[in-house]
Amino acid sequence: VRKYENVSRVGEDIALGQKIIGRGETVRAQHVASAIAVGVDSIEVYRILELGIISTGGEIVPDGDVKNTTQPLLASYFSTPYLHTHDLGVVPDEKVSIRDAVKKVINSHDMIVVTGGTSLGAKDLVVDALDELGDMVFGGVMIRPGRTISVYDIGGKPVFSVSGLP
């Protein structure tokens, strides 16, 4: 057997001054092992953000003619290792129901998206409901589709109002 054969020497796997993980990187198993190997017992990380999606509209019913396509579209689009999405259900086109649904979940989520009810019809009451809860940051954009998008600040958290049609 040769000298140091099958023996790991100090500094062989991680050199002095070598960066183990960079800012903003996702912490993976190899990073944890490397940190422990060099004596680091804790790593400061950002917590996973929670996004709640509330759909509006009495016409959206399970196995009905109108399918809720926007909620799963948004959930799929925004699901990442650092952002969890939650389907918070469908609420009727009623100002009080919409307002109460947002109020109920605002403290347990980092941001909320409300789909549907953004146009100018009699049943489009999302803007009225959100006006009661917080301040509009902006309402409407000059793009199509999507011109009825609005963003609110409710308790320091962003609440997005988007069309129910993708």
pLDDT band at 17, cuts 50/70/90? confident
Is the whole model's pTM more than 0.85, yes or no? no
User: Of 101, 104, 110, nearest to 57 (Cα)?
Assistant: 101
Q: Cβ atoms within 10 A of the Cβ of 48, count?
A: 11
146 and 88 in one domain? yes
Q: Total domain count for the chain?
A: 2
117 and 81 in one domain? yes
**pLDDT score, position 166:** 67
8 Å CB contact between 83 and 113: no
56 and 37 in one domain? no
84 and 26 in one domain? no
Residue 89, phi-psi category: left (phi > 0), alpha (psi -120 to 50), beta (remainder): left
137 and 65 in one domain? yes
21 and 55 in one domain? no
> Cα 115 to the chain's mean position, in Å?
14
Name residue 127's amino acid: V
**pLDDT tens per residue across span 107-159:** 999 999 999 888 777 778 999 999 999 999 999 888 888 888 999 999 999 99
- Rounded CA separation 166/162 (Å): 9
80 and 36 in one domain? no
68 and 147 in one domain? yes
Range of the domain at 89: 49-162
* CATH code, domain carrying 129: 3.40.980.10
**Given a cut of 80, is residue 89 above it in pLDDT?**
yes
